[in-house]
């Protein structure tokens, strides 16, 4: 699972690998997988070194490869994409 922070106040990667779990799925089959997203997975590191969870929009990508055009061409498969909004106040996260 990759996460993309769409509204970070500091420079962040385009997307980051937040979790993974290998599962066997037959062609055309389905599988249910539970993956937990921790606050630290969504946090940013500020210039002063503080780790902060900021409110804003995030995208999730789930699939067999990273969510880019090259991977899509090589695997001929798209990843699942969803989004959510983190609401509330900015929160400092301990390391």
37-92 pLDDT per residue, tens:
889 999 999 999 999 999 999 999 998 888 999 999 999 888 999 999 999 899 99
Give the per-residue pLDDT at 60.
94
How far is residue 17's CA from residue 81's CA, in Å, rounded to a whole number?
Answer: 14
Give the per-residue pLDDT at 12.
94
Per the rule left: phi > 0, alpha: psi between -120 and 50, beta: everything else, 83 is beta
Give the per-residue pLDDT at 3.
95
Token pair of 10 as six digits: 């500091």
Largest CA distance in the chain: 49
Number of domains in the chain: 1
CA–CA distances in Å: residue 55 to residues 9, 77, 92, 94 = 10, 31, 12, 17
Look at residue 95 and tell me whether its pLDDT is greater than 80.
no
Instruction: Write the CATH number for 6.
Output: 2.60.40.10
Look at residue 94 and tell me whether its pLDDT is greater than 90.
no
Q: Which domain holds residue 59?
A: 2-92
pTM of the full structure? 0.81
């Amino acid at each position: 699972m990759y996460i993309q922070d769409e509204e970070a106040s500091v420079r962040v990667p385009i997307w980051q690998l937040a979790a993974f779990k290998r599962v066997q799925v037959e062609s055309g089959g389905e599988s249910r997988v539970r993956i937990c997203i921790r606050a630290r997975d969504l946090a940013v590191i500020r210039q002063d070194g503080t780790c902060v969870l900021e409110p804003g929009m995030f995208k999730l990508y789930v699939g067999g490869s990273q969510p880019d055009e090259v991977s899509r061409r090589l695997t001929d498969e798209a990843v699942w994409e969803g989004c959510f909004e983190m609401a509330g106040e900015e929160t400092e996260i301990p390391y």
